[in-house]
Amino acid sequence: MPALTDNHLLRSLRRTLDIILVGGFAVMSVATLGQVLFRYFLHFPATWTEELARATFVMITYFAMAVAVRDKDHIVVDFLLVKLPPRARALLLITFDVVIVAFLALVARGALLMAERMWTAELTMLDGVTQGHLYLGELIAILLMMLYAALDIAVQVRALRGGPVATLPAAGASLDRDLR
Amino acid sequence: MIIYGCLVIGLIALIMIGMPVGFGAGLISAIGGALIFDGIADPRVAAMLARVSLDKIDNFLLLSIPFFLLAGRLMNTGGITERLFGFVSVVVRPLKGGVAHANVLASMLFAGMSGSATADAAGLGAIEMKAMTSQGYKKEFSAGVTAASSLLGPIIPPSIALVAYAVQAEQSVAQLFIAAIVPGFLMAAADMAYVSYKAHKHNFPSGPFAGLREIWASFRRAALAIATPGIIMGGIYFGIFTPTEAAAVAALYAVILGLFIYREFNLRDLAREIRGTMIDTGVIMLIIAFTSAFGDIMIRAQIPMELAAMLTELTSDPTVLLLLMVVFWLVVGCFMAQTPAILILTPILLPIAEQYEIDPIFFGIIMTMTLTLGLLTPPVGMVLYVLVRVTGIPFERLAVISLPYVFLTTALILLLVLFPGLVLFPVRLLF
């Protein structure tokens, strides 16, 4: 089971996502602060900064959602869930994950449709970047969410069968390890 | 109406049995979409979910959430909270129960830099607890004041919860921030009045006047941090920055203070905090993305209008309606965190309030304040969970300790419902 949740590919993916989040945040910050800089210090209001900040935010937010799914960092009302016997709880969690994967598959289909439809619809101020690119980013992030939810199903099924419970690494663990 | 009513009940049931809030709302939206279009296989359902979720996130205002979150995290990591607490505790030392008063005042200042109660409880809360218990205050009393003062975070601007409301209700963040100032200060005043009562009843200690030299020295240590609320609110009010730019400037300011001036963290720490900030943002945005379609479907199905028609038969008085909603929010707050509750309930309840001609800014402040109380009430009081880690006091005991402050804030909310002018006069004065 550890090979399922902690193999080389997943570690690389984890590191890539960390870099996307931190790097994307830096781009978003520079664009937002650059807007102030252009307006007050260079007396030249930049038209592209807000759009760049927004587009970056949309992209990294979807990837942050994928990380939240991976780390099971959801907002959950769990006061009833924790009262269930372990077996019933595992069954319910598997059901949730199956429903989530099905729902995400639907959103992924929609993101693909929208990416095709909007592939040439350029953003107003960012040359070469289209709405379709944003939907493609959404699609990739949704597929990642599906991957992590599916991995969790495998982990929960293993727990249900009485095997060793392999939990996904805790939030914050990867950065401590990977950026060292 | 009945079918869509069942969808609302279905969403509540899914959330109650532990389905992640964002995905629960998304699933119900998919079913609602299937009812509106030609079944779940209709490509318009899938396209709607993908489009509405991206459209909702593609909002410049929402960028302020990660920036304010990062500012709050860095204030804790960068030693800024310690400096703040040091300054206010020197100032109020001669008061009976001085450190307890300092607890409230420091949280008030911190609330002016961050927008989150849990950031206050986890960072500043630990410092406040240590200071109070080391001066002989009972752990329980110290925890109660710390819990109550952390509630100032989502009320005194900037506030992440108010940004979430502004996005859902399409209202001005600047007006919401200005409207929240008086309620925030009244909450702090109510907490300090209760501390004074307890201090006189139990004869809490007071210290000698620190002297102007010591006050000046501690002010100089904290001055750069104290300037943050002024930069944010002054910048927004005088039109220098948009709220999002002000949030980015606040985050940059916290980076400069912690990294270059106080030298309390390094680049690796900063990267870790940014990553944590983005994950917290992802958790919130997942709910925003997938509840937006839910809100659209509810409005398309005329649910808020139908509910308003039903409520009109009960009462035509906006104050009575708002009081009923306060009771409802108090119950909801017990089971659901503040920001998700705002995101889900605003599209349903705001149209009702508008039919009763309740000001949407006033409505947002009352809803946010009431749902904030849920941070201190079981079973999902998030501040209580944070304070269990900080204080070592069991969750159930913390819930009991916090009760007087919950009652106090509830009384304040009722006062504001009866006198909306207390909330709205600064907005009318300044806008």
Structure tokens at B109: 């200042």
Q: How many CB atoms lie within 10 A of CB B98?
A: 22
CA distance B75 to chain A (A): 18
Range with the lowest mean pLDDT among A88-102, A130-144, B303-317? B303-317
Q: Is the pLDDT of residue B307 over 70?
A: yes
Task: Output the pLDDT for position A5.
Answer: 65
Q: Is the pLDDT of residue A172 over 60?
A: no
pLDDT tens digit sequence for B92-150:
999 999 999 999 999 999 998 887 888 888 888 888 898 898 888 999 999 999 999 99
Across the interface, do B279 and A103 touch by the CB < 8 Å criterion?
Answer: no
Cα-trace Rg, chain A: 20
Q: For the residues B325-340, what does the mean pLDDT come to?
A: 87
pLDDT tens digit sequence for B215-252:
999 999 999 988 888 888 888 888 888 899 999 999 99
Find, in chain A, the residue whose alpha carbon is nearest to that of B244.
A32
Q: Is the pLDDT of residue B395 over 90?
A: no
A111 vs B: CB within 8 A: yes
Q: How many CA atoms lie within 13 A of B255 on its CB side?
A: 20
The answer to whether residues A164 and A158 touch, using CB atoms and an 8 Å cutoff, is: yes
Of A32, A67, A117, the CB nearest to B282: A67
SS (H, E, C) B97-159: CHHHHHHHHHHHHHHCCCCCHHHHHHHHHHHHHHHHHHCCCCHHHHHHHHHHHHCCCCCCCCC
Overall size of chain B counted in residues: 431
Across the interface, do B271 and A179 touch by the CB < 8 Å criterion?
Answer: yes
Short-list B252, B216, B250, CA closest to B230: B250
The answer to whether residues A29 and A49 touch, using CB atoms and an 8 Å cutoff, is: no
Q: Which residue has the higher pLDDT, A74 or B279?
A: B279
Find, in chain B, the residue whose alpha carbon is nearest to that of A35.
B245
Q: For the residues A168-174, what does the mean pLDDT come to?
A: 35
DSSP-assigned letters across all residues of A122-140: B-SSSTT-BHHHHHHHHHH
Residue with tokens 């009485």, as numbered in its chain: A162
Per-residue pLDDT band at A175 (split at 50, 70, 90): very low
Structure tokens at B427: 């907005």
Question: ∠ CA B330-B20-B374 to the nearest 5 degrees?
Answer: 20
CA B127 to chain centre: 21
Q: Which residue has the higher pLDDT, A73 or A34?
A: A34
Q: For the residues B21-36, what does the mean pLDDT come to?
A: 91
Task: Output the pLDDT for position A98.
Answer: 96
Q: How many CB atoms lie within 10 A of CB B431?
A: 12
Question: ∠ CA A47-A51-A54 to the nearest 5 degrees?
Answer: 150
CA quadruple B316, B302, B169, B73: dihedral sign: positive
Task: Output the pLDDT for position A41.
Answer: 81
Across the interface, do B20 and A32 touch by the CB < 8 Å criterion?
Answer: no
Whole-Å CA distances, B99 to A144, B89, B205: 49, 6, 9
Q: For the residues A114-127, what does the mean pLDDT come to?
A: 89
H or E element that contains A105? helix A86-117
Q: What does the alpha-carbon distance between residue B352 and residue A86 come to, in Å, rounded to a whole number?
A: 42
Q: Is A45 exposed, middle or buried (0-12, 13-18, 19+ CB in 10 A)?
A: exposed
CA distance B397 to chain A (A): 17
pLDDT tens digit sequence for B371-392:
999 899 887 788 887 888 788 8
Whole-number average pLDDT of chain B: 90
Whole-Å CA distances, B25 to B15, B19, B32, B68, B287: 9, 10, 10, 26, 8
Q: Is the pLDDT of residue A113 over 80?
A: yes
Of A36, A65, A96, the CB nearest to B19: A96
CA quadruple B23, A148, B51, A28: dihedral sign: positive
Interface-testing mutation among A35, A107, A177, with chain B (most B C-beta atoms within 10 A): A107
Per-residue pLDDT band at B311 (split at 50, 70, 90): confident
Q: What does the alpha-carbon distance between residue A132 and residue A141 come to, in Å, rounded to a whole number?
A: 14
**Phi and psi at residue A122, in whole multiples of 5°?**
-70, 145
B196: left (phi over 0), alpha (psi -120 to 50) or beta: alpha
Q: What does the alpha-carbon distance between residue B75 and residue B110 come to, in Å, rounded to a whole number?
A: 8
Q: Is the pLDDT of residue A173 over 50?
A: no
Question: ∠ CA B340-B229-B276 to the nearest 5 degrees?
Answer: 45
CA B203 to chain centre: 33
B114: left (phi over 0), alpha (psi -120 to 50) or beta: beta
In total, the C-beta contacts within 8 angstroms joining chain A to chain B are 185
Per-residue pLDDT band at A2 (split at 50, 70, 90): low
Whole-Å CA distances, A125 to A47, B42, B59, B150, B422: 7, 34, 16, 42, 43
Q: How many CB atoms lie within 10 A of CB B30?
A: 24
- 3 state SS of A88: helix
A100 vs B: CB within 8 A: yes
Across the interface, do B287 and A64 touch by the CB < 8 Å criterion?
Answer: no
Q: Is the pLDDT of residue A176 over 60?
A: no
Structure tokens at B248: 């980015």
Per-residue pLDDT band at B346 (split at 50, 70, 90): very high
Q: Which residue has the higher pLDDT, A46 or A38?
A: A38
Q: For the residues A32-59, what does the mean pLDDT come to?
A: 88
Q: How many CB atoms lie within 10 A of CB A33?
A: 18
Q: What does the alpha-carbon distance between residue B226 and residue B222 come to, in Å, rounded to a whole number?
A: 6
- Across the strands, what pairs with B87? none
Task: Output the pLDDT for position B406.
Answer: 95
pLDDT tens digit sequence for B148-187:
999 999 999 999 999 999 999 999 999 999 999 999 999 9
Structure tokens at A76: 């959950």
A79: CB partners within 8 A, 6+ apart: B335, B378, B379, B380
Structure tokens at B237: 């009010």
CA distance A5 to chain B (A): 19
Q: For the residues A158-168, what does the mean pLDDT come to?
A: 62
